[in-house]
Structure 1
Amino acid sequence: MAVKSLRKGRRAAKHAPARASKKRFLQPVAPMLPDPELERGRAAGFATGHEHGRWFGKCEAGLSLVSYSPPIFPLHIMFIATAKGYPYSPLDASIADSLRSMTLRLSVSDTLQNYVQQAETLRPDAVIFLDGLQAPVENVDAIRALGIRTAVWFTDDPYYSDITRKLAPHYDFVFTLEKNCVEFYRRLGCPNVHYLPLGVNPDEFRPRNPDLSLRREISFVGSAYHKRVDFFDQITPYLATRDIIISGLWWERLRDYQLLSSRIRAGHWMGPLETAATYNGAKIVINMHRAHDDETFNSNSEMITAVSPNPRTFEISACGTLQLTDVREDLASFYTPGVEIATYSSPQELVEKIDYYLQHEQERQDIALRSMHRTMKEHTYAHRLNYMLTSMFPS
């Protein structure tokens, strides 16, 4: 009996801890009280998601109302891309893609290939050069001697007019993105000169719903030319109080660079999709045109003034965000100021309008939507190339 009692006691002792642990585990646990900070964060996240989702939906609804189907030209076009790399490579691709969708046949070459021999073999109806700065004039003359029409689309007027003035007379058709260069080329003896600003590729620049990390009040994308630096120097203390991102070359030139250094992506080149995401993430995008007399990379000894909108004007507008741009004389030919685009003429006016539109959300969104609609309706590369091909082949 003593042995059995001892064994029974050992078994009870062996299982006692487990039974006690199980018993403790089954004890009711007091409910956790909600974390006020966590709840506030959840509510703010929901509100932000709802706001951006609703805005993105409005943009998509607006895009559904815009439909443009360019005509198909019964032509064989040969397109000579720049082969200059970024930032020209996205432009090369956009033009080629648009031409491919608008012609019966497209042959693509670039300035690094023997495009004269290719033209002689392929016998296209026309050869179109983009930029043209890398194409020797004797090559253009050789193509014209084959009886093939030639055209050039100058993309950097008037900043390289000292160079383009020597090139333009060798083409049958000259297209320039700067209105003030039309008469300039005509005086050189060019018989067919047309004003044709660049446009936008809607597959790249369009409303999107970017990541929360890209959300900002303000953004600016572009290089720090000296005239831009002089302007930004006057508003740096103000911009330092705002949620802003600046991206581009040479921004170390700012007098008070340290005030904005944490918001500047210095020396960073962005492709079209990253640029579009930056525009989409901002409530306001600042656009500032390059000065015609800026000393940086400028070959414009005749001081031809620039009055036409730059390509960013169309790219920003296509993204459905409010654009604040400096005044250009011919801007009103493309957008109605105050209705489809907002403008400024001084550092003080830029600051005032930033404050105003950040406080008037509905007005900001209405202008942005109208600007997006106008862009997709009139200012895509398909629209531009329709004009170009119609001008070259009016019949």
Structure 2
Amino acid sequence: MTADLKIAYSKTGAAVPVINGVSLHSRYAPEDEGRKLAEKFLENNAGAEIIAVFGLGFGYHILPLLSENKKIIVFEPVPELYEAYPKNEIRKKCFIATDLNAITKERNYGVFALPSVKRLFPDKFEKFVKNLENGRSESEPINISQIKVLIDSPIYGGSSTTSRYVKNAFEKLGTQVKFIDNSSASELLHLITGFEDKDFSGISALKLTELMSDILLHEVEKYNPHLVFINAQSPITKDALREIKKQGIITVIWFVEDYKRFGYWRDYASLFDYFFGIQKGEFPVFLQRFGCENYSYLPMAADDSIHKKAVLPANEKKYFGSDVSFMGAPYPNRVRLFSELSEFDLKLWGTGWEKFDSLKQFAQKNGETVSIEESVKIYSSSKININLHSSFGNDIFEKNGDFLNPRLFEIAACGGFQLTDNRSLLAEIFEPGKEIITFDSVADLKEKIRYYLEHEKERQSIADKARKKVLTSHTYKLRIKEIIYKISAESPEFGAKIIAEEKKWRFAEEKIQDPQLKRFLQTLRPNERYDIDLIMNKIKNNRTGAEYESILEVLDTFTKNL
């Protein structure tokens, strides 16, 4: 159906979109109508964790839902209406798509259809519901397994670990992933940053970044990805980013750091096609001032293949377990807090705690680094995990702290019980008092430690609810799906490029006359098709001598057609 979009105005003065002569909202009081529709939906779908809305309209029916702190997916059948829709709170808090390919299988959702849009587009509504129930049809031309992703990892730090979780998530989704592991440069960077001559140190660090960027560009040319994924603190120059974009490759950054501490984002804000971050509030506003037009809030997550309940033998449970524990770095606010908890059976894990006289008796492993596997055992074995977000200020608790650290999700995924400092974005992820317990002072923390040590069943019930929430709504796999679907919905050239490559592959495949090679090529998964080295190795492992040489000749002809 061709959509004829016009704008009318209600008696209250509110704008009402009109599609093909049909008003999408009441011409009398669209705000009241929207509120009543939302209330009826919530009454009938009280247990739904995800709200799937069919029809954006002008959002009068969606605005009342924003206070529910639930994930909201919106499909709008008329792209022109989405373009005309003002950039307001709904755009910031909801995932909005105009392409049904962006709607995928969900769990524990409720369907909320704007009645006028459902009447206008019954076929699309049926497809919308089908996608939510079963996922996209296999016959549709684009699927995630056809996407090639190149991930450029940071040299060290928490962002480097996150990049590996991102890699795992892409691979679980079936994409072909090229991972540039820059950790090999960590010792060199450590040497450079240790120079007393800070001017020389700065110049050397810049040269290292340029070298790592050259390596990235080399891999981009060789691999020809559809998407280049950058994590916060990945070593990349502005010139390298510009060169990648010239090639028509989508660039994405997930800025998983506090923008107030790491300010280099100002120089890069306008250079990424998609900018994801872990903060709201002023950050999107600042990004816009520096030229970023496509920011989305994307909180941290857990890797459910790594962060899971650990069942330990008695000796390990004793070693890793305690009444109260913390795993992380000794930031000043944490040193001050844990110095107040000496009365408890406390264990502090991570490097640096042994350097503080008041805390060295609680430091574990002589201050050695804790592996990811060990952290899982700590979270699973501790009766109470403390999660205090880092701060460089004089206060123990960061005023107006917003971002949520990965530890919050990882502890929950491991089935551990945690007490965390309150954050402005926390209630959007967990329901305080039921799925998470917060503290806002040392006295409050001590009181809650004593209470929950004595109430094991209540402690376990809260931990179980938090674990369920993370596994259903906050894994890296779900985060990456969200990124891919946003790109698919908003960048038509992304999908068009993948479809064109798929057609080119099939065309080249039809030219193959050798029946053995043809059968072999048909066994390849979409994410294996363009890895020529992998293809050759597979053939070599199954063929010998002259047969192998003959097939390679045919393969050489085949690859020239790609």
TM-score category of the 2 structures, normalised to the smaller one: 0.7 to 0.9
1:286–1:323 CA contact under 8 A, matched in 2: yes
Residue among 385, 388, 404 paired with 1:309: 404
1:102-141 correspondence runs (5 A) = 102-110=173-181, 112=212, 114-141=215-242
The answer on whether the counterparts of 1:291 and 1:306 sit within 8 Å (CA) in structure 2 is no
Once residues 327 and 336 of structure 2 are traced to their aligned partners in structure 1, the CA distance between those partners, rounded to angstroms, is 16
1:161 aligned counterpart, secondary structure? coil
Deviations 1:297-332 (A, max 9, x none): xxxxxx996402111000011111111000001100
Alpha-carbon distance, 1:283 to partner: 0.8
2:480 paired residue number: 385
Q: Which amino acid aligns with 1:196?
A: L
Give 1:248 shift: 2.2
* CA drift at 1:89: 4.4
Give the AA of the match of 1:291: S
Which residue is 1:323 aligned to? 418
Q: CA RMSD in A?
A: 2.8
Partner of 2:277: 176
1:155 and 2:256 matched:
yes
Matches within 5 A, 1:345-360: 345-360=440-455
Contact 2:232 2:254 in 1 (8 A): yes
In 1: Cα distance, 2:288 partner to 2:150 partner? 24
Pick from 278, 281, 292 the counterpart of residue 378 of structure 2: 278
1:1-395, aligned counterparts within 5 Å?
72-73=143-144, 75-85=146-156, 87-110=158-181, 112=212, 114-180=215-281, 181-210=283-312, 211-213=316-318, 214-233=320-339, 235=340, 239-252=341-354, 254=356, 256-257=358-359, 261-265=361-365, 267-291=367-391, 293=393, 306-394=401-489
The letter for the 2-side match of 1:174 is F
- Closer, same or farther in 2 for the Cα pair 1:118/1:209, shift >3 Å? same
Could you list the structure 1 runs, at least 4 aligned residues long, displaced by more than 6 angstroms after superposition.
Answer: 68-71
- Number of the residue aligned with 2:54: none
Q: Shift of residue 131 of structure 1?
A: 1.8
Which amino acid in structure 2 is aligned with residue 352 of structure 1?
E
8 Å CA contact retained: 2:332, 2:392: no
**Which amino acid is the alignment partner of residue 212 of structure 1?**
K
Distance 1:69 1:276 in 2: 33
Question: CA separation in 2, counterparts of 1:370 and 1:311?
Answer: 18
Letter in 1 for 2:377: A
Secondary structure in 1 matching 2:240 = helix
The verdict on how the C-alpha distance between 1:263 and 1:123 changes in structure 2, with shifts beyond 3 A counting, is closer
Q: Distance in 1 between matches of 2:241 and 2:173?
A: 24
Higher relative contact order (CA closer than 8 Å, sequence separation 6+)? 1
| Matched residue type, 1:158 | Y
Quick one: distance in 1 between partners of 2:441 and 2:274? 38
Change in Cα spacing, 1:263 to 1:106, as seen in structure 2 (3 Å) is closer
Shift of 1:162: 1.6
**How big is the shift at 1:103?**
4.3
TM-score (norm 1): 0.73
**8 A Cα contact 1:120 1:143, kept in partner:** no
SS at match of 1:285: strand
Contact 1:292 1:306 in 2 (8 A): no
Give the SS at the match of 1:366: helix
Instruction: Indicate the percent of aligned positions where both proteins have the same amino acid.
Output: 27
SS in 2 for 1:393: helix
Q: Which amino acid aligns with 1:232?
A: F
TM-score by length of 2: 0.52
Aligned mates of 1:388, 1:346 — CA distance in 2: 37
Larger Cα-atom Rg: 1
Q: Give distance in 2, aligned partners of 1:294 and 1:185.
A: 28
